[in-house]
């Protein structure tokens, strides 16, 4: 019986405070969608992710176009550059959610405004293996971390942050391009957090939660 519990325990992520920043693997994700209103039927058309391990960009990359099983508005295509013909023959989200889950594994999940990506997945597949990842794995938002760690900045939009920190631009509003830029931003944020005494993912979560009070205080002065 003990061996069974040990096996099950190995499948679950470690507690946040046991996850040391220097040793942690972060899975930085991004999605592109048919639109911005998931609750009204917008769906994922692209999912990408890249790993950050030991404060360095990994070569582990996932990039997949997805059939949304609905129309793709031209207005959205003009933003991310994905058109209906690009999605012909591509798998549905249910057909790739297992391999996406395997890619994420027990890593901390990271995104810029990650709540949107989380809502897309949980709303589309509320009881799925992939949705469960957002309940079992730590989830971190580089938008919130940026506010907490660099409250003096004028903007926290991804492109502006990358310009500020001289991060090489990738194709914007593509899932893979945004994932890579966010991953490079994350490394800067992790190093800043370490300078401030953070040691674990639990500490990062505490720093992230400070952003609400900071942004509320600066609301009239800052553009987010």
- Quote the mean pLDDT of the chain: 90
The label of the residue with tokens 């939009």 reads 157
CB 13 within 8 A of CB 140: no
What structural domains does the chain harbor? 17-218 (3.30.420.10)
Per-residue pLDDT at 213? 81
pLDDT per residue as tens digits for the range 152-198: 999 999 999 999 999 998 988 899 999 999 999 999 999 999 999 99
pLDDT band at 217 (very low <50, low <70, confident <90, very high): low
Tokens standing for 121?
């997945």
Residue 3 in this model has a pLDDT that exceeds 60 = no
pLDDT per residue as tens digits for the range 63-108: 999 999 999 999 999 999 999 999 999 999 999 999 999 999 999 9
Distance, in Å, from the CA atom of 64 to the CA atom of 19, rounded to the nearest integer, reads 29
Say what the pTM is: 0.90
Per-residue pLDDT at 13? 55
DSSP alpha helices (H): ranges in the chain?
2-11, 74-80, 93-104, 114-124, 129-136, 142-149, 158-164, 175-195, 201-209, 211-218
Residue 11 in this model has a pLDDT that exceeds 60 = no
Per-residue pLDDT at 222? 47
Contacts of 91-98 with C-beta under 8 Å, sequence gap 24+, read 91/64, 91/66, 91/67, 92/66, 92/67, 93/43, 93/44, 93/47, 93/66, 93/68, 93/124, 93/125, 94/125, 94/128, 96/47, 96/64, 96/66, 97/125, 97/128, 97/129, 97/130, 98/129, 98/130
How far is CA 152 from its chain centroid? 24
Q: What are phi and psi of 45, to 5 degrees?
A: -120, -10
Q: Dihedral sign, CA of 98, 103, 109, 115?
A: negative
């Amino acid at each position: 019986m003990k061996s069974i519990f040990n096996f099950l325990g190995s499948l679950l992520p470690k507690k946040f405070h046991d996850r040391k920043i220097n040793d942690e693997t972060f899975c930085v994700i991004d999605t592109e969608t048919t639109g911005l209103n998931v609750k009204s039927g917008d769906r994922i058309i692209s999912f990408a992710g890249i790993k950050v391990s030991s404060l360095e960009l990994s070569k582990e990359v996932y990039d997949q176009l997805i059939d949304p099983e609905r129309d793709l508005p031209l207005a959205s295509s003009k933003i991310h550059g994905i058109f209906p013909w690009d999605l012909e023959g591509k798998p549905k989200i249910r057909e790739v959610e297992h391999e996406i889950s395997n890619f994420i594994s027990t890593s901390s999940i990271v995104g810029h405004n990650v709540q949107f990506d989380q809502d897309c997945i949980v709303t589309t597949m509320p009881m799925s293996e992939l949705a469960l990842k957002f309940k079992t794995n730590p989830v971190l938002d580089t938008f919130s971390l940026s506010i907490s760690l660099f409250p003096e900045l004028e903007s926290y939009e991804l492109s502006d942050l990358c310009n500020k920190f001289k991060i090489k631009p990738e194709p914007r509003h593509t899932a893979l391009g945004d994932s890579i830029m966010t991953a490079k931003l994350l490394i800067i944020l992790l190093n800043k957090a370490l300078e401030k005494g953070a040691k674990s993912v639990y500490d990062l979560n505490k720093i992230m939660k400070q952003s609400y009070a900071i942004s509320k205080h600066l609301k009239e002065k800052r553009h987010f």
